A and B are shown apart, each in its own frame.
Chain A
């Protein structure tokens, strides 16, 4: 079953003759429960694509269908709620809120939705991610790797069906990167989540089920 699909997706910036084609006719289908990596040089349109998949940006033309729902057909409020309930985003620069403690940061998406925090599950993730003793600290008192893991915990805590990760290992050394990927894999398997991850690291891309290579806004390779 496909949980994510795009059809002839394009995103253009500017006008002729200075037209920039960030995405140029992307058609992909991503199976539920799979772990996909997107690779490509910087400026190739990876992040734009990920933002489109998460409904953070609107395409110039083409459609994005997430879990049977067409994103273009949604209003702004609907889209917000949709993102909150279905999608977990791990940003490259973490985007943790500086004046909330790590714990509050992690449960923020759940509380925004007015749901109860599944404390048992949360304990489990925090344990696995090694953040148990760091929950009451503010993000600026955490190391880069810990902030990264807090961002991962936040994406996982609401148990979204889809996790979109923009270089979740971008600022980590190679060994910690492997650890983070291993964690993501274990968690996703346990809770049947679909992961789409941007990476620059070929070694990490190899560990995923499928790799999509993007150059100049086009898919040049899709390896299973």
Chain B
């Protein structure tokens, strides 16, 4: 653009000086000189006029856009400009789109912040009970006439409360890691079977204690770009969940399939399944199945699992039939 501008200026100067040269030095009739003079000044005037006209239009256009931007910023849609085949209309609609995207992102993050605050207050509230229990039973030791049986009982209760406390703290740490963007993914090409081995090893004891039969079907060479540590945690959470809701002597099968775009890790259990109405809820933070109130948990495992897989560009889907079992599919992209 700049080159064109300078070339135009040069051309103008050249023409102008040619004209002057002819007027003052060449031997021509007076009439021609007058006409030439006239033409040159007309051209100059015309050029100046055109320049000013386009400049004015351009500044008007940018003023208009600035004006509408202010409007949009204040939340007043510029309806009269919708759906016109003009540059202003195009820009206004584009600006409004950007505004709505930014606005919804903002409200989303606000909502998230609120949720975090709620979560923190909820967990801290739950921490209060075991702490005050421990305190109460500790005070009992101060009494001089405490019997041995009573003391033993108190110690037992304190132990129980400490286990509860530990569990809550673990949950708090887990979720804070997630919220503070502490998940630093180290993506590398590695074998899925190794990740699976880590996850399965961490839950096999729980499965054994419920006599649940676990099977893994995975070709040893299947590789996918993923973070081993976090993916193992996600799989572990899903397995943990499956074990929790599967009755004794049940079955959990893990299978790995590769397709064109995703590698799927399928976890099928013979548990109690998920009612259709709750299938979307299970991944929400703090969601607990009403009938599962007795089983220990905070409703963070599946949420965390989904976040981890999402961050790696994958997704988790679930199929389930109530009473027959559920099937979780963890899908990781083959290349990311």
Contacts and interface: CB of A to CB of B under 8 A. Distances in A.
Q: Are A and B bound to each other?
A: yes
Interface of A: 32-33, 68-69, 74, 77-79, 81-82, 85-86, 113-115, 127-128, 130, 145, 159, 161, 175-176, 178-179, 182, 185-186, 191-192, 203, 206-207, 209, 223
6 contacts: A78-B84, A85-B93, A161-B100, A182-B314, A182-B317, A182-B331
A68 B260 contact: no
A172 B83 CA distance: 36
Interface of B (DSSP majority class): mixed
Contact of A186 (B84, B94, B104, B315): B315
A179 B259 contact: yes
A128 B77 contact: no
A12 B70 CA distance: 45
A192 B105 contact: yes
Contact of A115 (B89, B90, B280, B315): B90
Contacts, number: 75
Interface residues of B, number: 35
Contact of A74 (B77, B83, B85): B83
A128 B333 contact: yes
Contact of B313 (A85, A113, A128, A192): A128
Pick the 3 closest A-B CB pairs, nearest first: A78-B83, A182-B315, A81-B83
B135 interface: no
Contact of B331 (A82, A159, A178): A178
Contacts of A77: 83, 85
Given A68-B77, A115-B90, A192-B100, A178 B329 contact: yes
Contacts of B104: 32-33, 192
- A85, A115, A145 pick with most chain B CB within 10 angstroms: A85
B250 to A, nearest CB: 23
A114 B260 contact: no
Contact of A207 (B260, B310, B317): B317
A176 B260 contact: yes
B97 interface: yes
B97 A159 contact: yes
Contact of A79 (B83, B94, B261): B83
Contacts of A192: 100-101, 104-105
A82 B83 contact: yes
Contact of B317 (A78, A161, A178): A178
Contacts of B314: 182
A115 B105 CA distance: 24
B81 to A, nearest CB: 11
Interface string B89-118: 110011001001100110000000000000
A144 B331 CA distance: 22
A178 B276 CA distance: 18
Contacts of A82: 82-83
Interface string B302-328: 000000001001110101000000000
B313 A206 contact: no
A35 B314 CA distance: 18
A145 B83 CA distance: 34
A179 B331 contact: yes
Given A69-B82, A81-B85, A176-B259, A206 B276 contact: yes
B262 interface: yes
A27 to B, nearest CB: 23
B219 interface: no
B266 to A, nearest CB: 11
